[in-house]
Amino acid sequence: MLDLACGPGHVGGYLREKGLEVRGLDVSARMIELAREQFPEVEFAVGDMLRLPVSSEECDGITAFYAIVHLSAAHLGRAIMEMYRALRAGGQLLLTFHSQLLEGQPNYRIFPLADVKAALLLAGFVIEVEVERLPVADEDRTRRALIWAFKAV
């Protein structure tokens, strides 16, 4: 598994607890430092999701929880193509993102669900599940989306 934009490593740590081999990747050296401190059993590295440091078809799965929120619209397609390249045939992608601004001024990118789906389909992904939800409790006032897709065999 490859955990993109892993931040302080909580998703990678959870997946490792469940018995998966996981590598976390984040552009922030500070986040990687925190992740290594909290989850020393997981491999973490500084890296860019526009140039994933893995061979083609190396990964069985990719988690990308809010990984695309700091990309420009122009880089969205490139990042998704990199995810596709990294996955083996049948490999799974779990992608979450902010899909609609409800109120406020976030400091991250909002990607409409239709735009992300179009980029995934263009790359060759097959979309298995898509869900949108409203914010809960004290979350930012955005609609959130989750897409589970796979690379066709």
Domains of the chain: residue spans and CATH: 1-47 (no CATH), 56-153 (3.40.50.150)
In terms of pLDDT, which residue wins out, 70 or 115? 115
User: Residue 24 pairs with which residues in a beta bridge?
Assistant: 3, 44
Q: Can you give the pLDDT at residue 153?
A: 85
Taking residues 20-37, report their average pLDDT. 98
CA 81 vs CA 6, 41, 56: distances in Å: 19, 29, 11
CA 1 to chain centre: 11
Q: Which residues of 38-57 are buried (b: 16+ CB within 10 A; e: fewer)?
A: ebeebebeebebeebebeee
Question: What is the tens place of the pLDDT at every residue in 108-147?
Answer: 999 999 999 999 999 999 999 999 999 999 999 999 999 9
Q: Which amino acid is at 16?
A: R
The residue behind tokens 């989850």 is: 39
The first and second tokens of residue 119, run together, are 């980029």
The whole-model pTM stands at 0.95
